[in-house]
Structure 1
Amino acid sequence: MFDQMLLSIGLIIASLIAGVLVGLIRKQFSDREKKLISMAMTGMVFILIFLMGVKTGLNKSVMEGLGIFGLKALLITLAAIAGSILFAVLFDKLVLRSGSK
């Protein structure tokens, strides 16, 4: 199990490095290429979310405690959104607007 996790992390890091290298080598992408890359990324995110849902649905312990997990997840999500909005507003008022004076 640990070996599989290390392999997965290694593949993620290798993929990230490969993407950065392609970006550094190409430097410029046409508008059409940017649109295709964006569409591919969006599609991959949807596939990832779908597969996460399938894996969640197959896990009995998660499905049995879904009510408790769901409430905790909702609270964490709402707190993360509120914190992000608060930080963005504070950053805008304290850093961006003070620097433009």
Structure 2
Amino acid sequence: MDGMVTYIGLLVISLAAGVAAGLVRGKFSDSQKKYVSAAITCLVFLLILLMGLKTGSNEAVISNLGLYGLQALLITVGAVLGSIAFAILFERLFFRDGVR
């Protein structure tokens, strides 16, 4: 349990640091936005790779993959549909006047 609390704490601190850096930095030029976007994309792919390595090295997960398959599919579909729904809701609530 302590490891989980530490992990979540680090995630929250990282998020807060990123928000603070964005607020302090202010506006970004288009070239800087492209660089940040490319960096984020690379880091997401790295995260997915590392998650795959961790999952593939866990013998309990691999041996029970058939049992976890349907649950994982349902959770994934739910997460994707929820993300899409909240993105649409966010856009309609905060970008009504067309300013993006």
Cα pair distance change 1:34/1:9, threshold 3 Å: same
Where does structure 2 lack aligned partners over 5 or more consecutive residues?
none
Per mean C-alpha deviation after superposition, the further-off stretch among 71-80 and 55-64 is 71-80
Root-mean-square deviation (CA, aligned residues, Å) is: 2.9
Deviations 1:7-65 (A, max 9, x none): 32222112111111111111100111111111111111111111111111111110011
Query: What TM-score does the superposition give when structure 1 sets the normalisation length?
Result: 0.71
Greater Rg by CA: 1
Residue correspondences, number: 92
The structure with the greater share of residues assigned to helix is 1
SS at 2:27 equivalent: coil
Moved runs in structure 1, 4+ residues, more than 6 A? none
Cα pair distance change 1:83/1:11, threshold 3 Å: closer
- Percent identity, aligned pairs only? 52
Find the counterpart in structure 2 of residue 48 from structure 1.
47
Find the counterpart in structure 2 of residue 17 from structure 1.
16
